[in-house]
């Protein structure tokens, strides 16, 4: 019994998290469709609400199911608890004086309809507008479910004119699923460049998630107007309309088990640019992995060619070699005079750190995208090259880190 209870709790938690994600993704989708004069709110008047330019308001509630039959999401039954609970909450608003001339109601769900008698009767009512027949059907529904019985009681006691307006303004959107694909399709429609869709989605999702978090944290209502969207989130589309831009993805990185065993980290540790076990090691590793992931993505999508990347590598290597010769000129003279490399260790480390700092600050363009610059990608490129032992920082790096 204890094990069963734990599984039920886990399932309930999973359903709750998935339902919240479903709600937020649908919000993101609707925000992309905002028109001039409209605004959209998250968990204010309802799960989601849209205020239109004519002053009318759409209340949306979302119901997501993870219950499946034969690999498909189960159909929404006539006596579905969540459905009747939604109706009940809207009927409460009406009883508190909600202006039905101004409001409409939309239930959105990933569940499908197959033999749902309520939906069939609602559709018939919206065609005939015969509220008496529809109300009669509802009052004759047989159930012992208290949630449904309470809702039916509210319907029974509601003014007939209000009841008619409510059901005329009610719609049920079934089978609403694959929301990420819907958002990406809308982004594609807006930017017309398929190669940029994934990166734009990542930035759009991230920016709105952060805005929601900080607004709610600061006890503000999370509302986006059409103008807000353009001002606060319009830069998410910049990739597609700037010919010098390349989209930056946020990869899911597999972090190496022993970060300090990476050759590029060993190089930086040896010149004391970073300290052992510092948090910076993880940050530098992420920069390297992010650069590798994005370059692979650009080549795969045809945004840059493999020869462009090879030229990018060579330009960086040439620059590193040029700077290294300049910075180590005096070191070379002293070594030629017979001073041992161990005696020059502190001086070498100082010059090596200068070399890293100078290269961090030096702009190296990707052929065909010379005006594109991203600090994380640039630094990650240096770390990737040093990890492959194509560049190094210490005067004697080629002998110190020879591949076995």
pLDDT value at 42 more than 50: yes
pLDDT tens digits for range 261-318: 999 999 999 999 999 999 999 999 999 999 999 999 889 888 888 999 999 999 999 9
Contact 370, 244 (CB under 8 A): yes
pLDDT tens digits for range 223-250: 999 988 878 777 777 665 665 678 888 7
pLDDT value at 194 more than 90: no
Residue range 53-63: mean pLDDT, rounded: 95
* Rounded-to-integer distance, Cα 240 and Cα 203, Å: 13
Which of the pair, 204 or 103, is modelled with greater confidence?
Answer: 103
Written as six digits, the tokens of 18 are 């998935």
pLDDT value at 193 more than 80: no
Which residues, other chains included, contact 339 with Cβ-Cβ below 8 Å and sequence gap of 6+? none
Measured CA angle at 75 (ends 74, 81), to 5 deg: 95
Chain centre distance of CA 403: 40
pLDDT tens digits for range 95-116: 999 999 999 999 999 998 888 9
pLDDT tens digits for range 130-170: 999 999 999 999 999 999 999 999 999 999 999 999 999 99
Tell me the domain boundaries of the chain: 2-231, 259-400
- % of the chain residues with pLDDT over 70: 92
Which of the pair, 46 or 8, is modelled with greater confidence?
Answer: 46
């Amino acid at each position: 019994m204890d094990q069963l209870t734990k599984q039920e709790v886990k399932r309930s938690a999973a359903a709750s998290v998935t339902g919240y994600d479903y709600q937020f993704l649908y919000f993101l989708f609707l925000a992309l469709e905002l028109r001039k004069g409209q605004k959209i709110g998250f968990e204010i008047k309802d799960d989601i609400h849209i205020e239109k330019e004519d002053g009318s308001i759409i209340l949306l509630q979302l119901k997501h199911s993870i219950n499946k039959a034969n690999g498909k999401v189960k159909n929404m039954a006539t006596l579905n608890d969540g459905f009747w609970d939604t109706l009940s909450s809207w009927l409460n608003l009406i009883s508190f004086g909600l202006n039905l001339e101004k409001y409409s109601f939309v239930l959105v769900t990933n569940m499908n309809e197959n033999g749902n008698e309520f939906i069939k009767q609602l559709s018939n009512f919206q065609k005939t507008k015969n509220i008496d027949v529809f109300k009669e059907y509802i009052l004759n529904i047989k159930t012992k479910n208290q949630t449904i019985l309470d809702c039916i009681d509210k319907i029974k006691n509601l003014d007939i004119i209000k009841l008619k307006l409510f059901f005329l303004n009610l719609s049920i959107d079934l089978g609403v699923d694959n929301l990420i694909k819907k958002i990406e399709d809308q982004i594609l429609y807006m930017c017309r460049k398929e190669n940029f869709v994934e990166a734009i989605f990542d930035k759009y999702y991230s920016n709105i998630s952060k805005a929601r978090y900080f607004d709610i944290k600061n006890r503000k209502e999370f509302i986006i107007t059409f103008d807000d969207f353009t001002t606060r989130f319009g830069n998410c589309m910049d990739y597609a309309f700037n010919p010098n831009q390349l989209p930056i993805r946020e990869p899911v990185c597999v972090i190496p088990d022993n970060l300090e065993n990476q050759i590029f980290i060993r190089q930086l540790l040896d010149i004391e640019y970073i300290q052992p076990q510092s948090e910076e090691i993880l940050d530098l590793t992420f920069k390297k992995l992010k650069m590798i992931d994005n370059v692979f993505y650009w080549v795969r999508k045809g945004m840059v060619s493999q020869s462009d990347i090879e030229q990018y590598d060579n330009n960086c290597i040439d620059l590193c070699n040029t700077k290294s010769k300049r910075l180590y000129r005096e070191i070379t003279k002293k070594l030629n005079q017979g001073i041992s490399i161990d005696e020059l260790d502190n001086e070498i480390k100082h010059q090596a750190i200068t070399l890293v700092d100078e290269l961090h600050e030096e702009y190296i363009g990707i052929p065909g995208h010379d005006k594109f610059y991203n600090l994380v990608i640039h630094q990650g490129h240096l770390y990737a090259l040093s990890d492959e032992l194509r560049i190094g920082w210490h005067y004697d790096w080629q002998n110190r880190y020879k591949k076995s």
